[in-house]
Amino acid sequence: MPPDPILYRSHATLAHGAVLGAASLGDVLIAMPPACLAEPPFVRGYSDCFLGALQFVAAQERLRLPDATVVTETVAVGATASGLGIQVELAVSVPGMAWGQARELIDKAHTVCPYSRAMRHTLDVRLTLA
């Protein structure tokens, strides 16, 4: 079950080897300690790892992954019945590739990505083709 309300949200977009990130408080005002939060580095690491998995799978399939491929990840932290929960969404854009082929590539990358494998049974990870 996804967290509700969302207390904190972090985004990262990986394109052409550069990571663009943002973080925001969500639906409820909370006090943050004056320290580094874990979510922004996690978001950047997961999106980078997922792009690497896409490149790996594309090479295995003898496909050329377009240079304009973009992975955007959003991590939301919020309240659940048992405490705090995390929800992850990976939105992948593969311009110029047929929808079915891109969707298959994304699904295969999700099976080989170390971050995806580590969280398969513990987090709600949603994959979307943007």
> pLDDT tens digits, residue range 26-39?
444 444 555 556 66
Residue 116 inside a domain? The answer is yes
Task: Residue 19: give its domain's CATH number.
Answer: 3.30.300.20
Residue 43 inside a domain? The answer is yes
Residue 100 inside a domain? The answer is yes
**CA-to-CA distance for 22 and 27, rounded, in angstroms?**
16
Domains contained in the chain, number: 1
- Find residue 19's DSSP bridge partners: 14
The structure's pTM equals 0.79
Residue 118 inside a domain? The answer is yes
41-98 per-position pLDDT tens digit = 777 788 888 999 999 999 999 999 988 898 888 888 888 888 888 888 999 999 999 9
Q: What are phi and psi of 26, to 5 degrees?
A: -90, -125
CB contact at 8 A, 24 and 4? no
**CA-to-CA distance for 12 and 79, rounded, in angstroms?**
22
Residue 1 inside a domain? The answer is no
**Residue span of the structural domain in which 84 resides:** 6-28+37-129
Q: What is the enclosing helix (H) or strand (E) of 126? A: strand 124-129
Residue 50 inside a domain? The answer is yes
Residue 58 inside a domain? The answer is yes
CB contact at 8 A, 114 and 49? yes
Which residues have C-beta within 8 Å of that of residue 38, sequence separation ≥ 6?
A: none
Q: What are phi and psi of 45, to 5 degrees?
A: -65, -45
